[in-house]
Structure 1
Amino acid sequence: MLATGIFVTGCAQFPDGRPRDWHAQPSLEPQAGPQPHIEGQDSPPPPPRSQAPGEPPPPPQGCKDPDPAVVATCLEPVGALVALPQGTGALVGERTTGRILRVQEGQQPVEIARIPVDPAGGGGLTGLALSPSYAEDQLIYAYLSTSTDNRVVRVAPEDPPEPILTGIPRGPRGNSGAITADDRGALLVATGNAGSSEEAADATSLAGKVLRINAFGEPAAGNPDPGSPIVSSGLTDPGGLCVAGGGAAHWVTDRGSDPQTLHRVQLGEPLGTPAWTWRNRPGASDCVATPGLVVVTLTDASALYTMHPAPQGGFTGEPQKVMVDTYGRFSAAALGSKGLLWLGTANRDGGEAVSSDDRVIRIKPPAGSAAGKD
C-alpha cells in the first residue's frame, strides 16, 4: 500500500464527476523538501555530513549525487520507466537515444538494449512495459518512433528488438505514446494523433487511440470489437497510461489537448469528458495509479500532482501539487515494490539541468501538500 499520508488530504466531495481546475492561493508558505525512504531500509538514511536534518542534500558534483533518493545519474532525458519485480531495480528508456538501461541502488546503469529511434515531433522511446508473464519470459515491450512510423517492439534477452505492431501514423507532432500491461494479460497502448485530429477521428486509423493487443500485436481476447485492437479514441499527444491494481480503473493523460487532460478510459467507448483538466498546461505526462490514488508527473511545472478518485466518480479531497522544483521536470513514473515511487526527469530536454541530470529517483510517495495547489 502507498503511504497513508498521501491518501488523506481532505473530505470535500465532487459528486458530479465533472472536471475541475484547482486554482493557486495568493501565497503559500515554503515547505521542507521530501524526506525519501530507500527500499530495504526501515528509516530514511542519515543526511550527508554537511547536511542538517530536514535540509536538502548538497548539490551534485559531476555525476556523483549525494541525494540518497537518486538511483542513477547522467542519463539522457527519461522517456519511460518501469519498475522490476521484487525490488530488483527498474528499467529506464531514454527518449532521444533509444537506450534501455537497468538501474539499481548502488550499481552503475547497465544497457540491456539500444533501439534506433527518431525523437522528432515529441517521439523517440516514450513507453516501456514488462510482459504480463515477465517472471517466466523476461520480455519487455517498448513504444517508439522511427523515421517512418510509430510502433511497438518486443525485447527478449540477448535478441534484437522485434517489431510486433507497426504502421502507427507519425507526423510533425503528436508522436509520443505509452504502454502498460493490464490485469488480464494484455497490453494497453496509447498513441498520439500524428498532428492530425482527422486521424484521431478516423475509426480505421491507429493514431490518437487506446489499443489493447496481445504479445504478438494482434487484437487481444476480450476486446469490445474482437477484430480490432482499438478500445478507445480521441487522444492528441498522450503522456502516460496507467492501470489501478486489479483493473479497477484505466487512466490516460493527454498533454497535447487544450486544456491538458486526465481521462478515465472506458473500454469500447470514446474518451469523452475528461476526469480532470489543467488549463495552465503544466506538462501532464506519466501516471501511476492504485484504486484510491492517481499520481501524474508534471514536466513543465516540475512537480507531481496527486488526486484521489471517489468510488462514485469524481475525486475526493483536494488534489495536491507536491515536490515542486525538487528534482526538476518529472517525465516518467512507475510504482515499485513496497509502494515506492520511481521517477525519471527530463531536465536536459528544455529544463535547467544540474551536473548529474538526467536522473532516476526512488522515494516514498510524498504526504500532504508540499508546495501548493493548481
Structure 2
Amino acid sequence: MTFRHGTAYATLAALALLLPACSPDEGDGEEGGGTPSASAPSASAPPAPGGEPPPEESASAPVASVAPAEGSAEVVGTVAEDLDAPWGLVALPDGDLLVGSRDGGAVRRIAADGGGVTDAGEIPGVAGGAGEGGLLGLAPAPDFPDSGRLYAYYTADDDNRISMFRYDASAPAGEQLTPDGDLVTGIPRGDRIHHGGALAFGPDGMLWAATGDTDNSGRLSQDERSLAGKILRIDPATGGAPPDNPDPDSLVYSLGHRNVQGLAWDSEGALWATELGDDTWDELNLIEPGGNYGWPEQEGRGGAAEGFVDPVEQWPPAEASPSGMAFQGGSLWLAGLRGERLWRVPLDGSEPVAEPGAFLEGAYGRLRTVLPVGDDELLLVTNETDGRGSPEDGDDRVLRVRVS
C-alpha cells in the first residue's frame, strides 16, 4: 500500500486481514482551466466580486450551511492494485467486481476472494488517443443478476456512444463480454477533452448519462438540439426518450453543463451531479428537470437572476476537480482528481446540513470513482495512471473505505 505526503494511518495492521474482503496538455479538462490564486474563496463562500449576488440573495441558492462537517472515512483494505487507468466500476452479484480501463477498453474482473485480477473482455471500437475519452462509465441493468446486461459509455472514432453487452461469468477469461447492440450513438466528442462519461440507472429504472461540452467553449452546452454538455435520461429498452422527459421527443433532461462525471441519487430519489469547472468553481448540483446550469455563461453561484440553476456547493478546482460520486450513510461522497481528496456533503433529505468535509487528502493521489457497498462502506478507485498523476508502485488501486 502507498501513502503519499507522509500520511500514516492506524489501520495499517488491519489491512492484511481485509484484503480478500489525461495528459498534461489538457489543462482545461478534468483539472480546470487554471490554478486559483492563494486567496481563492473557500468552498461555501460567495463568488468573487463581479456583480453576482451572494448565495443568500439567489432564488435558487440552498439554505446556508453553518455546522462543521463531522463523520469519518477510513481506508480498511486494498481490494486490487496495479490497474491501468481505471474508470467504471461494477459490483457483481457474487461479490466480484468489473473495472474498465479508460485507455484501450479492457474490462477486468476482480475476485472477491483474494483480489485477483483477470481479463473479462474488451469493449470493441474504443478510440485510442482520445485524451479524456475512452471507456468511461459502466452500468449494470437493474435485472443484471438474471440478464447479465451491461451498458458502457465510451468514445468511438466519430462520436461518444452507449452500447449494450451481455456478461457471462461462466465463459472463459477474456470472452465474458458479448456485444448486444448500440443504444445511443451520435453524442458529440471532442478531440481530447470533455467527454463526460457518467452512466447510471436511476430509481425510476431509466438509464442516465452525462456528457461533456467537447471543447471548453460551451457552445453546444446551451444548444438544446445537441446531446453535448447535457444530462440525458434514456429508455434502456429502446434508446429513445421516456415520455415524461422535459421534452418527450428529446433525451435531454438538463443542459448548460461543462463536464459531468458523477451522478447519484439521495434517499428521497433526487438526482445530484458533480461538475468540473474551468478555472473558478467546481460544482455540486441538484438536478431539476429542464434546468439550465449556466455553462459557459455562468460558473459557480450567481446565475439565478439570468435563469440558471445555482450549485448547492462549490469548490476551487485545486481543491476538488470532482469525478465520481456516491450516496452512502446519509451523505454524498465526491472523488476529487486534482484535489486528491474525498469530499463528504451530509444531507437531510435533499438539504445539506453541514459544511462539506474533506478526507484522505493527498494520501492516495487522484481519486476517480466511488461505489457504495453494504451499509457503511465505499469502494474508491484511484487514478494515478491516466497520464496526469504520479504513479507509484501498486497504482492504480481499488480501496475499501469505511465511512460515517
- TM-score bucket (shorter structure): 0.7 to 0.9
| 1:350-361 equivalences in 2 (<5 Å) | 350-361=388-399
2:179 to 147, 155, 160: 160
| Cα offset, 1:361, TM superposition | 1.2
Q: How does 1:124-163 map to 2 (within 5 A)?
A: 124-157=134-167, 158-160=177-179, 162-163=181-182
Distance 1:102 1:287 in 2: 22
Q: In the alignment, residue 190 of structure 1 is paired with which amino acid?
A: A
1:281-292 matched pairs, under 5 angstroms: 281=318, 282-290=320-328, 292=330
Say if 1:76 and 1:97, in contact at 8 Å, map to a contact too. no
Structure 2 distance, partners of 1:143, 1:20, is 36
SS at match of 2:220: helix
Matched letter for residue 255 of structure 2: S
Gaps of 5+ in 1: 1-11, 23-31, 37-68, 368-374
- Alignment of structure 1 residues 262-301 onto 2, 5 Å: 262-271=284-293, 272-281=309-318, 282-290=320-328, 292-301=330-339
Q: In 2, are the aligned partners of 1:19 and 1:276 still within 8 Å (CA)? A: no
Q: How many residues end up aligned between the 2 structures?
A: 310
What is the CA deviation profile of residues 232-267 of structure 1, one whole-angstrom value per residue up to 9, with x for unaligned ones? 1111111211122452x2111111444111111112
* TM superposition outliers: structure 1 runs of 4+ over 3 Å: 14-22, 310-313
The alpha-carbon distance between structure 1 residues 308 and 148, as it changes in their structure 2 partners (threshold 3 A), is same
TM-score (norm 1): 0.76
Q: Deviations over 1:337-359 (max 9, x none)?
A: 33320111111122221211111
**Aligned partners of 1:280 and 1:171: how far apart in 2?**
21
In structure 2, the partner of 1:184 is 204
8 Å contact 2:282–2:315 — kept in the other structure? yes
CA RMSD of aligned residues (A): 2.6
**1:62-81 counterparts in 2 under 5 A?**
69-81=77-89
Shift in alpha-carbon separation, 1:312–1:330, aligned structure 2, 3 A: closer
Corresponding position of 1:251: 272
Query: Deviation of residue 103 (structure 1)?
Result: 1.4
Partner of 1:227: 249
- Bigger Cα displacement from structure 2, 321-330 vs 186-195: 321-330
Aligned with 1:320 (options 357, 365, 384): 357
| 1:363 CA drift (Å) | 2.2
Distance 1:96 1:84, change over 3 A: same
Post-superposition CA distance 1:257-294 (Å, at most 9, x none): 44111111112322321111112432211100248311
Aligned counterpart for 2:382 among listed residues 342, 345, 353: 345
The Cα shift of 1:312 comes to: 6.8
Name the residue aligned to 1:54.
none
Q: Distance in 1 between matches of 2:201 and 2:359?
A: 27
Aligned to 2:109: 102
Shift of 1:20: 7.8
Distance 1:20 1:154 in 2: 42
TM-score, normalisation: structure 2: 0.71
Contact 1:82 1:333 in 2 (8 A): no
Cα separation, partners in 2 of 1:33 and 1:182, compared to 1, 3 Å:
closer
CA distance in 1, matches of 2:85, 2:208: 23
For 2:101 and 2:157, how far apart are their aligned partners in 1?
17
Residue type matched to 2:79 in 1? V
